[in-house]
Chains A and B, each alone.
Chain A
């Protein structure tokens, strides 16, 4: 019983030694796991993969290609062949580059392709598989199999997602002190909410520059109140001024804030109390497609009083800070010294 088993093992190991293998890798930043997601805007951009290979194909060539079908056959019509290596080719590694545009063009070569597929007119999501296929030897290690097998790993998928997310709606704009809190509805999971705000243009806005400069510099609320600063932006994905005037019917700089969907309201801070801002929101999905802009909404930040405001208004003399900074440091040092002394004291039984 043992002898046939050893013989089988020897045959098997010989066969394994003959099997060609291709190992793919990708450093694409849009790769999540083994899926490379491509938005419509990147349709024509080349995607780059690397590969290493071992073993040699049996009799016929080894093909590296991209297909909408499954791997494990010779490239079919409509597939994009990236590389072909004959049985005697000893290339051990290489790079592969292709764009979705090229993949769509390859699809057009089929007889039943219908109207030409392009980045512009392809609106449905498509999935492409990166494959390597070759003929292997059979279990004896001497005879080539008649059919092709998939020899490429791991199974990378290029997902072309040309569909933009649905247009969001602004559910609510909450006026805060030097800030607006914006509730954006309709964002899909894993997407990013983008909110832009700019001061609403008034009859004299074009010349007075109120929204852009003067008020910002002199308004006590905006200039000195830290709540009107940037702290809220820290919890958001990011906030910054956009040079272009992105919100229709507005004047002055546009403030743009991004935040991951599902993390609550988007807070636009650093605004001027009493100035009406027009707000629009868009959604950027996981692939990078951007939705149409939401219907605009408006909000006006309003001054509010916290405890310290009320305290100061009432005549409180606290000026903040460690009034006894030196004393605080000295006291802290005393406390620390005592703590060390306490902990180092010999235990009293």
Chain B
């Protein structure tokens, strides 16, 4: 075989490889319309900050310094996609905490006392993902402001508590502001991210951390304060 023939063969091969690669890597981006978010974190209601308690700490006396584990899911809808993304989100979560009920002398009783909360939030959000998509910077800061409604109930044994005729269940309104930053996972495995989009319609994936300031006490009304200051962590999927 002559060296000319070998050279022609190699050249043909080199020409063919980019052609094949180009065919495979043509991006097929699906429309990006919203996001699904899953997050969890410690939730410690500010029950003990109620003024009427006069510095007494029923929450701490019952549960110590422990927080409730709050798990939330959120669905977002994008209404603006330009320099960043803005839209509305609706989330719902659940948290509960158990501890021994106390006898009159302060020792542990056989019954279990529990606080259960089911926070629901409607929020408006903005996330600055322009830099991530345009310049490849994988960090996306964002902020949310929302209306919160938190159904709650307290149990002892297996029944909802009733004390002095008041049943320990209800719902509290409030507001919450959140700031956080997401890490765009696509940069770690671009190929996988593209497959995730073409196969399941998930455009982008993020891990995030966020801080929430929530005042949930019927906007300063009397009674239970279910507000909190908390860090939450989770996974977000743009679709």
Contacts and interface: CB of A to CB of B under 8 A. Distances in A.
B115 interface: yes
Interface stretch (B54-62, B136-144, B177-185, B228-236): B54-62
A188 to B, nearest CB: 27
B165 interface: yes
Interface string B28-66: 000111000000000000010010111011110111000
B79 A327 contact: no
A332 B161 contact: no
A226 interface: yes
B171 A310 contact: no
Given A231-B159, A307-B59, A331-B149, A347 B110 contact: no
A309 B54 contact: no
Interface in B155-174: 155-173
Contacts of A302: 103, 109
Interface string B126-146: 000000000000000000000
Given A177-B101, A315-B54, A316-B53, A304 B218 contact: no
A310 B61 contact: yes
Interface string B2-24: 00000000000000000000000
A292 interface: no
Contacts of B110: 174-176, 181, 304
B88 A229 contact: no
A13 interface: no
Interface string B74-117: 01011101000000101000000001011110000111011100
Contacts of B218: 323-324
B154 interface: yes
A179 interface: yes
Contacts of A181: 110
A111 B172 CA distance: 84
A345 B90 CA distance: 15
| Most chain B CB neighbours (cut-off 10 Å) among A179, A224, A305, A339 | A305
Contact of A308 (B33, B102, B168, B171): B168
A3 to B, nearest CB: 64
Interface stretch (B192-200, B205-213, B219-227): B219-227
Interface string A100-131: 00000000000000000000000000000000
Interface of A: 174-177, 179, 181, 224-227, 229, 231-232, 235, 302-324, 327-328, 331-332, 334-335, 338-339, 342, 345, 347-349
Given A306-B154, A308-B163, A345-B77, 17 more contacts: A179-B157, A304-B102, A306-B114, A306-B161, A307-B59, A308-B161, A311-B53, A312-B166, A313-B58, A320-B167, A321-B167, A323-B218, A323-B221, A335-B90, A338-B88, A348-B78, A349-B31
Interface of B: 31-33, 47, 50, 52-54, 56-59, 61-63, 75, 77-79, 81, 88, 90, 99, 101-104, 109-111, 113-115, 120, 122, 147, 149, 154-173, 218, 221-224
